[in-house]
Amino acid sequence: MYRTIANLHSRDNDYPARVWQLSVYKAILDGTFYDVLPNEFWEAQRDNGEAVPLSSRRPSVRYNVARLVVQDSVSMLFGDERFPTIDCQDEPTLEAMKAIAKETRLNTLMLDVALKGSVGSVAILMRVLKNRLFFDCMETIYLTPVWDPQAPDTLASVTEKYKVRGSDLVERGYQIATENLLVDHWFQRRWTTDAEEWYIPWTKAQEAKDGFQPILDQSRTVQHQLGFVPIVWIKNLPGGVGFDGECTFRQAIDTTIELDYQMSQAGRGLKYSSDPELLLKDPAMGADGEIIKGQGNAIVVSEKGDAKWLEISGDAVRAIIEYSRALREMALESIRGNRSNADKISAAQSGRAMELMHQALIWLAGELRVMYGEDGLLPLMRMVVAASKTFDLVVNGKELGPLSDEPLSLRWGAWFSPTPDDKVGISNALKIGRDAGNLSQKTAVKAMAPVYDVEDEAAEVSEIEKDLRANMDRAIELNAKAEIRASGDAASLP
C-alpha cells in the first residue's frame, strides 16, 4: 500500500531521486501523506455504481505513529531538563558558550533541527550579522553538499537549487518578464568557504542553450570570509544512503498504513451498525406502488415475505480493535518507540525504573545524542569559536573577544528527573566518595549540578567553601565557650 500511495506523489525528474524520497517522508511526518488520494473513506462507490478501492480512499482515522515516536525521541534528546551542558576547560569560553546558547535560543533551534532531520538529514546555517550570531535550521531536500576530498569530514560547499514560479520571484524583488511569470525558474545559491553566492534565476529554456552557465548575482552575494562553509550537515541515524542518514520511522510506515485503514474500517462498521440496512422480502404493495404500512408504522409483508435488519456483529469490530492494538505494538517496536502504558503505573516511579520502562526509546535517543550532539551541536560551537577569530562577536550587548581553542565537550543529564529519594541516594553516594578522598568537591558539584539545576558550578563551589569556613568558625567559637564554662570562668564569656 505504501508504494501505491507514494507513487501518487509528484515526482520531478529534474531533481535527484533523493528529493522525491525525502518529500514523501516529510509528508508522512506532517500527516499529509494521504492527501493525494482522490476519495474520502466513506466514498465506497462512484456515481456509476463502480466500487472505489481502498487504495484510492483517504483513511478517516490517522494514528501518526511516525510523528509520535519522533516527538518522543526529540523530547528525550533536547527536551526540558535534558539539553546538554557545553563544557570547556577555559572559563571565559565556557561562559561565552552559555551566553550564546541563551541569546540564540539554542534549545529551541535544536528541537526543530532534530524534528526536521528525522526524515534523513538536516543542516544548520550560521550567520554573523552586525557581529551578532544567528542560527537557522534548513531542510536538506534541495541541498547538495560537497565534501573536501582531502578532508572528508569537512564541507567544501553546499548548493541549494529548486524550482520556483516567476511570479514568486517578483515578490522577492527580481525583475521577471511578463511572459515568464507563470514559467518555472531555477533558483540557486551556494555556500563556499569564502562567500554565500546567489545566482540570477533562469528558465529551462535558457538552460537548454549550449554553453549555458548560471550568472552570479553580485548584488546579493555576500563575502563572509570565514574560511569555512558556515553549515553543519547532520545525518539522522547511522545507515541511510549517501549523505542522508536513516529515517527514524521508515521501518514502521507499512504497518502504520495498515493500522490507519483497519481503524477506519472499524469506524465505518460502527457507523453502519448504528444505522443498519433494512431488507424486505415480498412486501405488500398498494395500487400506487408504495409499501403498505400497518398500525404503529409497521411494514406489512406478504404471506411468504420477511423483513430483517442487516447488522454487523460486534465481534467483528472487537477483532479489528485487537488487531489494531497488535499493529500499534509492532509499529512502535520496529522503530523503538515508547510502548509503556501509563494506566498500569500505580505509583510514582524512580528515575531508574522509568529508564527501564522506556529502554527502547532511550536506545534510540542515545543514538540521536551522538548524531545531533557530537556530530551537530559540537561542530556548531566550534564554528562559533572559529568565527570569533574573524569577527568581534557581540552577545547580550558585550563583546566576547577571541575564544579559546580548548576542546569542547557535551555533558548530558539523566534521562528522567530524579525523585526526592533518588536525590538523597545520589547525595549520599557523592558524600561517601568525597569523604573517602575518591572525589573532589568540584567533581561532586559537577555531578549534582544537573540534579539541582545549578548553572554556575564554580560559584557553587565557592559558596560551599564559604559555608564550610563559616561552620568551622562557628564550631571553634562554640568549643571555646564550652571550655570557658567548664573552667568556671563564666565572667570572661562575651
**Per-residue confidence (pLDDT) for residue 427, from 0 to 100:** 81
Q: How far apart are CA 273 and CA 195, in angstroms?
A: 66
Residues, the chain: 494
> Chain centroid to CA 188: how far?
27
Q: How far apart are CA 233 and CA 238, in angstroms?
A: 14
**Per-residue confidence (pLDDT) for residue 387, from 0 to 100:** 94
First-last CA distance in the chain:
90
C-alpha cell at 171: 515578490
CB atoms within 10 A of CB 286: 10
Which residues face 199 on adjacent strands?
216
**Per-residue confidence (pLDDT) for residue 125, from 0 to 100:** 97
Q: What is the mean pLDDT of each run of 10 residues along the chain (494 residues)?
A: 92 93 96 93 83 89 93 90 88 91 94 96 96 95 95 94 94 90 95 96 90 92 93 94 93 94 83 62 58 55 61 71 89 84 57 75 93 95 94 90 91 78 77 81 77 74 81 81 69 55
Contact 186, 215 (CB under 8 A): no
Instruction: Write the CB contacts of 311 (distance below 8 Å, at least 6 apart in sequence).
Output: 273, 276
**Per-residue confidence (pLDDT) for residue 201, from 0 to 100:** 95
**Per-residue confidence (pLDDT) for residue 274, from 0 to 100:** 62
**Per-residue confidence (pLDDT) for residue 286, from 0 to 100:** 55
DSSP 118: G
Q: How far apart are CA 5 and CA 25, in angstroms?
A: 12
pTM summary value: 0.80
**Per-residue confidence (pLDDT) for residue 67, from 0 to 100:** 94
Give the CA dihedral 273, 279, 285, 289, nearest 10 degrees.
70
Domain segments of the chain as ranges: 277-310, 418-494
C-alpha cell at 95: 561562559
Contact 190, 197 (CB under 8 A): yes
Do the bridges between strand 57-58 and strand 39-40 make them parallel or antiparallel, or are there none, so unpaired?
parallel
304's enclosing H/E stretch is: strand 301-310
Instruction: Write the CB contacts of 53 (distance below 8 Å, at least 6 apart in sequence).
Output: none
Q: How far apart are CA 150 and CA 154, in angstroms?
A: 9
C-alpha cell at 203: 528558465
Q: How far apart are CA 481 and CA 473, in angstroms?
A: 12
